[in-house]
Amino acid sequence: MECAVAITAPAQAPSHSAVKPVPRSLESNWVARAKLLDKRVKEKPDAELLFIGDSITEGWEGKFATNVWAIWDKYYGKRKAVNLGIGGDRTQHVLWRLEKAPLDDVKPKAAVVMIGTNNSNGEDNTPGQIAEGVAAVVKKLRERLPNTKILLLGIFPRGENFNVQRGKITQINQVLTKLHDGSNVHYLDIGPQFLANDGILPGEIMPDYLHLSAAGYQVWADAIEPKLAELLGETR
């Protein structure tokens, strides 16, 4: 078993925004979506799999590309997966949602987590703060669902060409590897699979260089499938 180096949010009062749980209560669309997701959880107590994140995760519902539902149904329909992604969310918003979510009556075998790209905008948070925010999300999920295996994905690359934000994301992902413990938390960086050999992010994979096309979601599904099947106990 590999040993993980702990990355923890401050034990005292949160020292920065990425680790302070807050709702987006002034945004009516967010409030409605959060209520819908809570309803989904209540209506699916037999869910085996959760997807937790921002708009990139929400996009599994076809928000940015057509024909995505077919991919979702093929890979995750029989697994009774629940999509808990909300566009625009940052680590602090997911923290708040996990604190309030009706998770007491569900026992998913695994949860796929990918969050943090929105924290990387501009100077909002440093790489270290974002890594702490993601670690806080993992910690909260472990508290709420202690028997659920977490597949923590590295933040996906963004921007067509090499850029400062991609570098920031790379630094965050380097730290997130330390959360991998080989038992409860499994880190996987599939970001390179979206890139061409010259480092360009193809438009056919991410049309706006942030959100995935159907082809991009196919890459995602294929890339995590072996590990996800293992965590769900489907392989020997």
Any domain includes 11: no
Residue range 96-122: mean pLDDT, rounded: 97
Contact 129, 172 (CB under 8 A): no
Within-domain flag for 9: no
> 127 pLDDT exceeds 80?
yes
Catalytic residue among 16, 93, 180, 211: 211
Residue 10 lies in a domain: no
**pLDDT of 7 over the 80 cut:** no
In a domain, 8, yes or no: no
Lowest-confidence segment of 6-10, 147-151, 187-191 by average pLDDT: 6-10
User: CATH number for the domain including 67?
Assistant: 3.40.50.1110
Characterize the bridge pairing of strands 149-153 and 185-188: parallel
| Residue-level pLDDT at 3 | 43
CB 206 within 8 A of CB 213: yes
Q: Can you tell me whether residue 85 is helix, strand or coil? A: strand
Task: Indicate the average pLDDT of the chain.
Answer: 94
CA distance readout (Å), 109 to 30, 32, 48, 53, 148: 27, 27, 5, 17, 5
Q: What is the pLDDT of residue 29?
A: 98
Q: One of 54, 55, 93, 186 is an active-site residue; which one?
A: 55
Q: How many domains does the chain have?
A: 1
Contact 53, 47 (CB under 8 A): no
Q: Which one-letter amino acid corresponds to residue 17?
A: S
22 Ramachandran zone, left/alpha/beta (phi>0; psi -120 to 50):
beta
pLDDT score of 5 more than 80:
no
pLDDT at position 66 is 87
Query: How far is the C-alpha of 148 from the C-alpha of 232, rounded, in Å?
Result: 9
Residue 134 has pLDDT above 90, yes or no: yes
Considering the domain boundaries, does residue 150 fall inside one?
yes
What is the model's pLDDT at position 167?
Answer: 97
pLDDT digits (tens, 9 = 90+) for 13-58: 568 999 999 999 999 999 999 999 999 999 999 999 999 999 999 9
CA 112, 116, 118, 120 torsion-angle sign: negative
pLDDT for 148: 98
Q: What pTM value is reported for the model?
A: 0.94
Instruction: Tell me whether residue 208 is one of the annotated catalytic residues.
Output: yes
* pLDDT, tens only, 174-201: 999 999 999 999 999 999 999 999 999 9
Is 55 a catalytic site residue? Answer: yes
Q: How far apart are CA 234 and CA 236, in angstroms?
A: 7
- 175 domain-assigned: yes
Task: Provide the residue range defining the domain that includes 81.
Answer: 17-231
Question: What pLDDT is recorded for position 115?
Answer: 98
Which of 182, 50, 69 minimizes the C-alpha distance to 109? 50
What does each C-alpha distance from 124 to 38, 68, 155 come to in angstroms?
28, 31, 16
Of the residues 15, 25, 73, 208, only one is catalytic, namely 208
On the 0-12 / 13-18 / 19+ scale of CB atoms within 10 A, 105 is exposed
In a domain, 236, yes or no: no
**Residue 41 near residue 102 (C-beta atoms within 8 A):** yes
CA distance 230 to 191: 20
Residue 2: inside a domain: no
